[in-house]
Amino acid sequence: MADETISPEMISLGAKLSQYARTQPDAPAVTCGDQTLSYGELDARSNRICRALQSLGVKQGDLVTLGLPNSTGFVEACYGIWKAGATPQPVSFRLPKGELEAIIELAGTPIVIADFKHEVAVPLVTVAGLLAMSDDDSPVPDMVPPISKAPTSGGSTGRPKLILAGQPGVTPKESPEVVMWRLMRDEIAVLPAPMYHNAGFGMMMGATTIGCHLIVMPRFDPESTLAEIERRRATWVYLVPTMMNRIWHLPDEVRAKYDIASLRTLWHLAAPCPPWLKEAFIHWVGPDVVMELYAGTEAQAVTIISGAEWLTHKGSVGKVTAGEMIAIGEDGQPLPARETGEIYMRRAEGAPPTYKYLGAEAKTLPGGWESLGDIGWFDEEGYLYLADRRTDMILVGGSNVYPAEVEAALEEFPAVQSCAVIGIPDDDLGNRIHAIIQAKGKVDPEALRAHLAERLVPYKQPRSFEFVDEPLRDDAGKVRRTALRDARIAKLKEGQPA
């Protein structure tokens, strides 16, 4: 049944989809490749999935683990889960068995919707399997999920934790003209980023609750993304900096081949964006198109910056638009403008909690301040500039080196496709900077060193380089430096070169 405690201006996510099924049944809701579901079809199919889930024991308030690649089925499954009053708990479709089992135990999920071949303690079902269980696509009783989403995070400990959203699964009954992410009803939105990550998931929610046409790509490919924007006359796209870098490193003639002038909004977030790359995109697609947001999945506070603002505040991630942020020094006290410290956040006064952890504890200071481990500083106008994460910082001969700065310099080199910078123990310096590089073709080491010498002071320049064939960041632009570092240190202990 519907939750009597929600505001009369709000309705459940499932009820919102059903509203669109009545008002715009034939409008395209979600497309992946050659498959498109209208709002009417998405509503009907999610009703069938809801009934199947309930027959398998899913109840209101349950977390349901979802391990699917980008597809129309991903969106169908989410709405089926929401209609059952439960919460989608997305994980990577490549998740190894051990990590999956830890998450299942943490979530207490009764069922996993995925194509995993693993054997686990709860039933594994596919979207096709759920649809086959029920052909009843009539409306289902309205249910409000107490929690809208529950993404995972490895955090600095390397152990999975769940971040339960503080908001229930509801949305405004009367859609505003523009919702979060500058999405409007007439938008054609391209999403090449994985929906199992929080940003991609949130953008899927935003697009479908505003009633626009969402184009999800099965996997990111730089040229295919440009082709999809041109083919669909897309007005909106979300990219992570890794994707932007790969697009920018396409041959000029390939990039110029595609007309992407239809874009009104390009969001990037989830990882630091090298200033040279950001500026290149601003000049390419326009300063009013490029938008950046900084926040954690925890969403205590948010900064936003447009491309036009960034050109006068280069390197900034914007001003605080929700909640509060401050830079805190080693003594635990707030720092003045231009002093670098740890960034602490708190939600706006009187606002309800924005999240709850399962499997972790927040790092806090008195007064409701919480840290995600990021380092940065504010200028006199209140613009935030991030340095890196404290957990990633490398101490070299008494000087702090933040990997993101070194990686940004490396990624300016044309032959570098992606990279990760870590600290390797060194008897002399404490740590030496080690760069792991996925290259395009052959790299001239001397040219690379000369390139870095023009951009970094000597103590920040890598002392050693390692070239690999596999990508170092996942589809959402995340890199697990701790795991990379641990693997290299283990090799050193065995007497092998790092």
**Residue 398's pLDDT band (boundaries 50, 70, 90)?**
low
Collapsed DSSP state (helix, strand, coil) of residue 102:
helix
Residue 20: name the closest of 157, 173, 198 by CA: 173
429-445, pLDDT tens digit by residue? 778 999 999 998 889 99
Q: Which two tokens stand for residue 151?
A: 């993404």
Q: Which two tokens stand for residue 32?
A: 């992946």
Q: At a CB cut-off of 8 Å and minimum separation 6, what does 179 contact?
A: 206, 209, 210
Element (H, E) at 483: helix 481-493
C-alpha 141/C-alpha 155 separation (Å) is 38
C-alpha 3/C-alpha 7 separation (Å) is 10
pLDDT of residue 37: 98
- Least confident residue range of 3-7, 226-230, 416-420, 423-427: 3-7
366-388, pLDDT tens digit by residue? 999 999 989 999 999 999 999 86
Q: Which two tokens stand for residue 21?
A: 């099924």
Q: At a CB cut-off of 8 Å and minimum separation 6, what does 105 contact?
A: none
Residue 370: name the closest of 206, 166, 203 by CA: 166
Q: Can you tell me which residue has the tokens 């500083």?
A: 377
**Residue 1's pLDDT band (boundaries 50, 70, 90)?**
very low
- Asked if 471 and 419 touch (Cβ cutoff 8 Å), the reply is no
pLDDT of residue 498: 63
Mean pLDDT to the nearest integer, 223-249: 94
Q: What are phi and psi of 213, to 5 degrees?
A: -100, 115
143-156, pLDDT tens digit by residue? 999 999 999 875 44
Q: Which domains does the chain have, with CATH numbers?
A: 10-256 (3.40.50.12780), 272-390 (2.30.38.10), 394-491 (3.30.300.30)
Q: What are phi and psi of 99, to 5 degrees?
A: -70, -40
pLDDT of residue 416: 92
pLDDT of residue 392: 77
C-alpha 326/C-alpha 461 separation (Å) is 30
How far is the CA of 131 from the CAs of 47, 88, 113, 122, 345, in angstroms? 9, 17, 12, 19, 43
Q: Does position 457 have pLDDT exceeding 60, yes or no? A: yes
Mean pLDDT to the nearest integer, 83-108: 92
